[in-house]
Amino acid sequence: MSDFDVDLFVIGAGSGGTRAARIAAGNGARVMIAEEDRIGGTCVIRGCVPKKLFVYASRFADDFEDAAGFGWTVGKPSFDWPTLRDAVANEVTRLSGLYRKGLDGAGVAIREERAVVEGPNEVRLAKSGELIRARHILVATGGYPAFDPPIPGGELGISSNEVFHLPSLPKRMLVVGGGYIALEFASLFARLGVAVTLLHRGDNVLRGFDEDIRVRLREALSHAGISFRLGCTVDRIEELPDGTRRAHCARGEPIDADVILVATGRRPNTNGLGLEQVGVKLGPVGQVMVDANSASSVPSIHAVGDVTNRVNLTPVAIREGHAFADSTFGGKPWAMDHSLVASAVFTTPEIGTVGLTEHQALAAGLEVRVFETGFRPMKATISGRQERIYMKLLVDAQSDRMLGVHILGHDAGEIIQAVAIAVTMGATKADFDRTIALHPSAAEELVTMRTPRASVPAKL
């Protein structure tokens, strides 16, 4: 008789946890998974999926305007927030059900309650009090939005968790933060007709992205009507008698808004899980410290996804979970490669990027050839919209290998997914050059750039 109730106990039924559970079960393991909120995790329930649906809704505002230039007569459009909100909520519920169906189909036992680690091989279910003995424990609890640092009145703001469920569309919104979550929501709500102010403590938005992309996105969002307050922080928030939220800033006038969306960061969700008590080493922001195989300092406990604070993207969590399950239960050891991961920012215009930024390439001691182009897309020549697309290629001057590709413009996310295949395979600039352009398209510019802007020596 086995000393364990299950071979694998997974804490958290998000993208990484469910993938690991299903693959492990498919490899013959006895698997149990616990989720205290809703099956599907951040991405499906309160992240990328509902956000992208909101982004689609916001872009119809541009489509209605553009139609006139192409001969269409469109009456004055109107927008109904409850219709969008409820339709998105229904889709989220449907997807959560599919995640459950996938777990059930794989034979994974589901427990819808909080689970806490009580030993290297023991997990306690909080609601039922049941103690489960597991050969392996996988922590996949993701992250949570944090007001960083906390301020007086911070509870008067909302996070990205609540923004999908607003009872009505606000007239004024203050977005606090300068990362991709803050910018995506600022962008989409502005196009839904909300007067948006974005406040950020840095001197520019999207720290970590290529500088040319950062500058051009901020300019585009300003043109779309978003007001920026950079180099500033919120000291406190108060509620006025009429329900208005007033943010008092470190400098400048206070900002009044109907809703204050705080998007200043996310923290790994390890509070109260009992990890430190059993010897699992946590990092400075509470992340589970793991090696390349997602193993923690306790051999029987692993962690994947945002709770490790490595590359916090859903496809990465999925890949990490798959690698763990194959390696541990499938006899097929492999590890996730975090060195080259494509990403997108679903602002309007959107960003697609893969590989190194110019700053990163130079910091790595590489001599870089920089190719770039900016142009007005064909659609905008008829619609009259003041829209630009920007593309940038970074090439190793010694090997001709493509180091990074950065795109700002319509469908940048779709384009970069295909480009990422080539970059991952080690494509060179010569490979791009000998690829026949697909005309007319925006993406053809990626293979027609011939003259470098500069060849930058290997120093900052």
Going through 244-300 in order, the beta strands assigned E by DSSP cover 245-249, 255-257, 259-262, 266-268
Q: At what angle do helices 314-329 and 15-26 cross, to 10 degrees?
A: 20
Q: From the DSSP assignment, how many helices (H) and strands (E) are in the chain?
A: 11, 22
Which of 165, 248, 322, 439 is labelled catalytic?
439
DSSP string, 108-144: -EEE-S-EEEEETTEEEETTT--EEEEEEEEE---EE
CA 28, 33, 38, 43 torsion-angle sign: negative
Residue 88 half-sphere exposure, CB side, CA atoms within 13 Å? 24
Cα–Cα distances in angstroms (integers) from residue 8 to residues 37, 139, 216, in the given order: 20, 11, 47
439 is catalytic: yes
What is the DSSP code (8-state) at residue 34?
Answer: E
Long-range contacts at 156-160 (CB < 8 A, ≥ 24 apart): 156/237, 156/238, 156/239, 156/245, 156/260, 157/237, 157/245, 157/260, 157/261, 157/262, 158/259, 158/260, 158/261, 158/262, 159/261, 159/262, 159/263, 160/46, 160/47, 160/51, 160/185, 160/261, 160/263
Whether residue 326 contacts residue 334, with contact meaning beta carbons closer than 8 Å, is answered with: yes
Cα–Cα distances in angstroms (integers) from residue 1 to residues 4, 164, 319, in the given order: 9, 49, 33
Backbone angles phi, psi at 9, to 5 degrees: -115, 125
Q: Catalogue the active-site residues.
A: 439
